[in-house]
Structure 1
Amino acid sequence: MRRIMDRPALSPAAWSPDSQALAYSSDQRLWVYTLDRGEKDVAPAEAVTAVAWSRPLNLLALIDRGIVWTLRPDGTDRRRVPLPEPAVELAWAPGSDRLAVVVRHPVDGQIRTELWLVNHDGGFRRMVTRAPVGRAMRDLQWFPDSLYMLYGLSAGREQAMTELWRVRISYPDRQQILLPAPAAMVRLAPTGRYLATVGGDQGAEGGGQVVLSRVDGSGRFAVAPQAGRYTGLAWSPQGEKVVFAQLSGDARAELWMANADGSGHLHLYSYLMEYTDPGMGVAIAWSPDGRHLVFGTNTGASRGPIWLVTLQRR
């Protein structure tokens, strides 16, 4: 394990499709770190809170102060995507050139959250759906067929999602997915068949759990070693494992890996966080080839160094 940069990053890191590079923001710049050559400053960036790397296009998309931009990994061909502002989340389709973006937009005097679908330069642009007044879309993700998306709904600025929806991008077709308990975090498996959620009372010590289930909500079971405060949930590329961080009151995060079939879990690392903010979370990203993890307190809402872990088979 090693720290790949000394400056605090803001956005969570995004892996390249070939697992050889990472993109992230720090010090009002966008950086690309390659495993064999290190860091490269590729573009100016004021306050980038989200970065995504397209597998089909090999393009980056980012949110900088609520504005969506796309560019090549070397910083060229930078384009502003015309959308209502501010954008708060984005995700590239795994098998097409479409980019999904969640925006907060005033409509009839009310702040409404909308889901938009665009291409890399905004030449194609369409609103897919709009959340009810007083509800916010969170944890936007794609199903592997690139035809459907998943998102949660929370009450206003609350973090806990109480509804989960599957929506088709080509025409209005929404299906509510069973969410038996409020969830602070939801992650769809790469197969599109299973969900991992961080549920329970995350505000209370010992109140939360990491739960896996089928997408229809059946077959639920806990995979965390004990109840606690959890964050940083991420699936392995094949969907057979999940990783997550358990936070304690002394600014320490215990990183765990669990088998998705419930057969066991493994303690990976005890991470003493660089900052002591009790509300701070941890972002974890698994490389597409399954060989590396990156993690840190760079969640888009908080900053911190980025750590790289190379996994060894046992």
Structure 2
Amino acid sequence: MHMSRRTTRTAALVAVTTGILLATTLAPAEATHPGSNGRIAFLRWDGNGIAQVFTANPDLTAEQQLTFGEAGSGWPAWSPDGTRIAFDSDRADPDRSDDVLVNDVFTMRADGTDVRKVTDSAGFSGDPAYSPDGSLIAFDADRGVPSTDPEPPSALPGLSVWVIRPDGTGLRRITTPPAGRTDTEPRFSPDGTRLLFTRFRTGHTLRNGGLQGDQSAIFTVRLDGTGVQRVTAWGYNTGQGDWSPDGTKIAFETACCRLAAAGIYTVRANGSGLKAVVNGHGVTGIGNEQALQVDGYYDPIWSPDGAHLLAGREFLEDDGTFREGLVMVNADGSDLHWVADGLGAEHQPDWGTAPLQ
């Protein structure tokens, strides 16, 4: 997995005089299936700088590494029954040193064994999510959609939403984005009737001081590809959407008002009732070490019981310590706290129902 190109949308890349190189991204969501709060899955880089999939209890105890080796793996998604994890990886790429990105969707048992390849791509397939009954996996892919846009969205160009059975059969395309658009991050609604996804479009003015770049919004669509509906306004520049377990709300990260992914919001599935859960100030004071501030939230997911949100956070302390890891917050925005010490650099969490250890 080519991590430098694997991120869905780079919101900022900041080099500062303190020696920190910060990449803040809008990243894909993980679907949360209703039930008892079980183990979480997440990405962390190993000692060789390779992205690997881990699981742990929600407090990061009883941690277990599931993937190993030179191939990168990430974006884990629990099956509804907690027995398997879907993920994507470049392990089938014949040459990970070239500029051709070959990435596929795989599944494995919750202990990391019995790895099975689901997609067979000559290009990119990734960001998987199980349907509520476990019979389908949704993912985004560039198959058959060559980009002709001279300035494609900074999400991988040509991406659209697809579904496939876990055994690799029944491949079906769901969305066909218009020119200058790309569709990513599909997630099933809890009743299995719709898919949530993020659509990017190019060449529009952002709210961040008039900067030019991509805009994004959350959409939903029926499984037959009809009934496409926009849920959030383009100006909120969304990433990482996740349905609440009861299907009434969607949590998402937004870079609407700050440079870099800054806040987590919720909205009703019909687009009403927009509410901020947590707000960070993003990245400010670039070029001035004394004034530099970093505080952004990303990758929000619901707990299976719907009471909490788990998310990533990047935060620069006053003493120059850069903290990066998972935080938990109640759904109403109260009791925000680091899951551990904020130094583990965990990313892309998904919260399943597999029994705690």
Q: Which moved more, 1:152-161 or 1:103-112?
A: 152-161
Deviation at 1:143, TM superposition (A): 0.7
For residues 200 and 92 of structure 2, the distance between their equivalents in structure 1, rounded to whole angstroms, comes to 32
| Residue pair 1:88, 1:104 contacting (<8 A) in 2 also | no
SS at match of 1:239: coil
Deviation at 1:119, TM superposition (A): 1.4
| Residue pair 1:104, 1:114 contacting (<8 A) in 2 also | yes
Where do 1:111-150 residues align within 5 Å? 111-132=101-122, 135-150=123-138
Q: Which residue of 1 aligns with 2:268?
A: 259
For residues 121 and 84 of structure 2, the distance between their equivalents in structure 1, rounded to whole angstroms, comes to 21
SS at match of 1:227: helix
Where do 1:56-71 residues align within 5 Å? 58-65=38-45, 66-70=51-55
Deviation at 1:287, TM superposition (A): 2.2
Deviation at 1:70, TM superposition (A): 4.8
Q: Which residue of 1 aligns with 2:218?
A: 210
Residues 1:98 and 2:84 aligned together = yes
Q: TM-score, normalised by structure 2?
A: 0.58
Residues 1:291 and 2:307 aligned together = yes
| Residue pair 1:84, 1:103 contacting (<8 A) in 2 also | no
**What letter corresponds to residue 266 of structure 1 in structure 2?**
L
Residues 1:168 and 2:165 aligned together = yes
Deviations, residues 138-186 of structure 1 (Å, cap 9, x unaligned): 3210111112111101489952462222111135321111243412543
Q: Which residue of 2 aligns with 1:308?
A: 329
Change (3 A) 1:169 1:78: same
Change (3 A) 1:215 1:272: same
Q: Which residue of 1 aligns with 2:280?
A: 272
For residues 254 and 67 of structure 1, the distance between their equivalents in structure 2, rounded to whole angstroms, comes to 26
SS at match of 2:191: coil
Q: Which residue of 1 aligns with 2:193?
A: 193
| Residue pair 2:140, 2:159 contacting (<8 A) in 1 also | yes
Gaps of 5+ in 1: 1-49
| Residue pair 2:32, 2:301 contacting (<8 A) in 1 also | no
Q: Which residue of 1 aligns with 2:355?
A: none
**RMSD after superposition:** 4.0
Q: TM-score, normalised by structure 1?
A: 0.65
**What letter corresponds to residue 88 of structure 1 in structure 2?**
G
SS at match of 1:284: strand
For residues 64 and 225 of structure 1, the distance between their equivalents in structure 2, rounded to whole angstroms, comes to 32
For residues 256 and 79 of structure 1, the distance between their equivalents in structure 2, rounded to whole angstroms, comes to 31
How many residue pairs get matched? 257
For residues 53 and 118 of structure 2, the distance between their equivalents in structure 1, rounded to whole angstroms, comes to 17
Where do 1:71-110 residues align within 5 Å? 75-76=61-62, 78=64, 80-81=66-67, 85-105=71-91, 107-109=93-95
Deviation at 1:238, TM superposition (A): 1.4
Change (3 A) 1:79 1:57: farther
For residues 210 and 69 of structure 1, the distance between their equivalents in structure 2, rounded to whole angstroms, comes to 28
Relative contact order (alpha carbons < 8 A, sep ≥ 6): 1 or 2 greater? 2
For residues 260 and 180 of structure 1, the distance between their equivalents in structure 2, rounded to whole angstroms, comes to 21
For residues 263 and 112 of structure 2, the distance between their equivalents in structure 1, rounded to whole angstroms, comes to 41
Taking only the aligned residue pairs, the percentage that are identical comes to 21
Q: Which moved more, 1:230-239 or 1:59-68?
A: 59-68
Residues 1:236 and 2:244 aligned together = yes
SS at match of 1:275: strand
Gaps of 5+ in 2: 1-28, 46-50, 148-152, 207-214, 287-293, 315-322, 334-357
| Residue pair 1:96, 1:146 contacting (<8 A) in 2 also | no
For residues 128 and 273 of structure 1, the distance between their equivalents in structure 2, rounded to whole angstroms, comes to 40
For residues 70 and 105 of structure 2, the distance between their equivalents in structure 1, rounded to whole angstroms, comes to 11
SS at match of 1:112: coil
